[in-house]
């Protein structure tokens, strides 16, 4: 019987996977707005970033309505998008203090300052480097020195191994100057925070081959009278010979090697289950959200623990570890070394730093499957990066994936009106 039929409707029998469903690919793509980041403006109203697939994946800063019955207000004007590309994954693309917001603009990756409310155009704070070669993330206001402190990732000299520093960007109505470097010398930095006295700054740093959740250090530095960084102290995670500890420490640094599958409403899952497909979302050993011990089950056991946990859910995982090692961007360049154990050696190659998963990986997989005579199809999307953000691409991908599986696995006709793409070694 059709799962959505009314009691009075005529019963019908159909193969699993072919059921007609009200959750179409268009419904999924239209409901694909996501919310990231949360801040409070000067009047106590919430501010957040909203990613909109119907606007080509554009990320917009939105302010809570003044009244419960009112509508939320877009802060970001047309022509701008609030999204950072730092470490490829981005995040920390804006900060709010009072009625002022500083954000990273997606197209040029420059920092802009804007007043929340009214018709105020964003004003650039950082130089124009003719492209997204310098990126900023995770910034914080420093009112004492009238500036903005942020992480800067500089790709100008080496795009595959960018230089990461903690910098200060001065608020000025007269000129746009180069950011001033406050902290440098390590591979990665995160979470710069100025204390309430505005005399000190804390931050997290770590170096290759570690990931931040494996081994990172918490540092505190003291500002000079001119705002430069002077004495620095490693508070946690560093050399054991350093013995200095604050009273009642209140901090946390978190990160995770994988996403966590959650038991919440997800229309991209219901798209399948409402048609009779079984959907398995596995939190295998190494997934975040279950404590450090569970997360570290994957260290040195990649391809063993996760395969055993998933069992028949996956037949093949990484087929060519050397190729994967060669194509990693800086943030994850040494991550695989810890996951696969010490017995493996890797040759270093230059990588495409603009994407977490470079396009040539998909091409190699496609060619390998095609050469084996197995059914395969390859679709390339212009303007997409790590994950789909545009509504039309979300819709097209869902529809074609379902038709692909229906034709090859179930051998049945889907209920939706979808024109299938050509499948090599099948059509």
Residues 37 and 140 in one domain: yes
User: Residue 66 has what pLDDT?
Assistant: 87
Distances (CA, A) of 339 to 37, 214, 245, 366, 386: 30, 11, 32, 25, 21
Minimum mean pLDDT range among 107-116, 135-144, 257-266: 257-266
* pLDDT (average), residues 367-392: 80
Quickly tell me which residue has 């691409």 as its tokens.
Answer: 393
pLDDT band at 20 (very low <50, low <70, confident <90, very high): confident
78-104 as b/e: b if 16+ CB within 10 A? eebbbbbbbbbebebbbbbbeebbbbb
**In terms of domains, do 150 and 101 share one?**
yes
23-46: pLDDT as tens digits: 888 888 877 788 888 899 999 999
- The answer on 56 and 201 residing in a single domain is yes
Q: Share the mean pLDDT of the chain.
A: 79
Both 190 and 106 in a single domain? yes
What is the residue range of 392's domain?
267-410
The secondary element (H helix, E strand) that includes residue 51 is strand 46-52
Looking at the domain assignment, is residue 1 inside a domain? no
* Confidence category of residue 334, pLDDT binned at 50, 70, 90: low
Look at 34 and 114; give whichever has higher pLDDT.
114
Mean pLDDT over 386-413 rounds to: 80
pLDDT the model gives residue 344 = 34
Q: pLDDT above 90 covers what percent of the chain?
A: 28
The count of structural domains within the chain is 2
Does 284 fall in a domain?
yes
Same domain, 146 and 272: no
195 and 73 in a single domain? The answer is yes
The residue among 340 and 221 whose pLDDT is bigger is 221
Query: Do 300 and 232 share a structural domain?
Result: no
- CATH code of the domain covering residue 357: 3.40.50.1820
Is residue 374 in some structural domain? yes
Cis peptide before 209 (omega within 30 of 0): yes
For residue 51, the cross-strand partners are 34, 59
- pLDDT, residue 427, reads 80
Domain membership of residue 93 (yes or no) is: yes
Residues 64 and 186 in one domain: yes
Does 118 lie in the same domain as 55? yes
Query: Are 183 and 277 contained in the same domain?
Result: no
Which DSSP helix (H) or strand (E) runs through 360? helix 359-371
pLDDT at 420: 84
Across 53-62, 251-260, 349-358, the highest mean pLDDT is recorded for 53-62
Contact 304, 316 (CB under 8 A): no
> Does some domain include residue 20?
no
pLDDT at 341 over 70: no
Each residue's pLDDT tens digit, 214-273: 889 999 999 999 999 988 889 887 665 544 444 333 332 223 344 566 777 888 888 888
Classify residue 418: in a domain, yes or no: no
DSSP, residue by residue, 130-164:
SSSSEEEEEEEEEGGGTEEEEEEEE-SS-SSS-EE
The reply to whether 313 and 374 lie within a common domain is yes
The pLDDT of residue 10:
74
Whether 221 and 291 share a structural domain: no
Task: Write out pLDDT tens, residues 140-168.
Answer: 999 999 999 999 999 998 877 899 999 99
The answer to whether residue 193 sits within a structural domain is: yes
Residue 11 domain-assigned (yes or no): no
Read off the pLDDT of each residue in 104-117 and give the average, rounded to a whole number: 92
Worst-scoring range by mean pLDDT, 27-41, 185-199, 310-324, 396-410?
Answer: 310-324
pLDDT value at 184 more than 80 = yes
Confidence grade of residue 323 (pLDDT, cut at 50, 70, 90): low
């Amino acid at each position: 019987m059709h799962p959505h039929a009314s009691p009075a409707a005529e019963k019908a029998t159909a193969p699993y996977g072919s059921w007609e469903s009200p959750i179409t690919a268009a419904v999924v793509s239209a409901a694909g707005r996501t919310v990231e980041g949360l801040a409070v403006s000067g009047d106590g109203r919430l501010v957040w970033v909203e990613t909109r697939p119907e606007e080509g994946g554009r990320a917009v800063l939105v302010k809570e309505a003044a009244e419960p019955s009112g509508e939320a207000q877009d802060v970001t004007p047309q022509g701008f998008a609030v999204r950072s590309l730092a470490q490829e994954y981005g995040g920390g693309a804006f900060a709010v203090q009072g009625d002022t917001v500083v954000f990273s603009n997606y197209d040029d990756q420059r920092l802009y300052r804007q007043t929340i409310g009214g018709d105020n155009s964003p004003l650039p704070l950082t130089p124009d480097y003719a492209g997204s070669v310098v990126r900023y993330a995770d910034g914080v206001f420093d009112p004492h020195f009238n500036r903005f402190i942020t992480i800067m990732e500089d790709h100008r000299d080496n795009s595959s191994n960018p230089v990461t520093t903690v910098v200060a960007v001065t608020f000025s109505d007269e000129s746009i100057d180069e950011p001033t470097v406050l902290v440098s010398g390590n591979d990665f930095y995160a979470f710069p925070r100025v204390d309430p006295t505005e005399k000190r700054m804390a931050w997290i740093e770590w170096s290759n081959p570690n990931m931040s959740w494996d081994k990172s250090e918490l540092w505190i530095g003291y500002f000079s009278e001119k705002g430069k960084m002077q004495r620095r102290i490693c508070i946690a995670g560093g050399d054991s010979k350093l013995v200095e500890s604050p009273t009642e420490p209140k901090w946390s640094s978190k990160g995770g090697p994988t996403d966590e599958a959650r038991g919440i409403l997800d229309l991209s899952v219901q798209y399948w289950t409402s048609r009779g497909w079984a959907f398995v979302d596995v939190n295998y050993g190494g997934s975040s959200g279950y404590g450090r011990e569970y997360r570290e089950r994957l260290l040195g056991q990649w391809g063993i623990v996760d395969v055993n946990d998933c069992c028949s859910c996956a037949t093949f995982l990484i087929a060519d570890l050397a190729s994967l090692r060669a194509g990693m961007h800086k943030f994850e360049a040494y991550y695989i070394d810890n996951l696969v154990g010490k017995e493996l050696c890797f040759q270093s190659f230059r990588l495409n730093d603009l994407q977490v998963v470079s396009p040539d990986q998909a091409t190699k997989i496609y060619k390998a499957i095609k050469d084996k005579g197995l059914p395969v199809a390859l679709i390339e999307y212009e303007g997409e990066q790590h994950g789909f953000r545009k509504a039309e691409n979300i819709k097209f991908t869902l529809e074609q994936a379902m038709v692909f599986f229906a034709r090859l696995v179930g051998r049945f006709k889907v209920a939706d009106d979808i024109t299938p793409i050509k499948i090599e070694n099948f059509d």
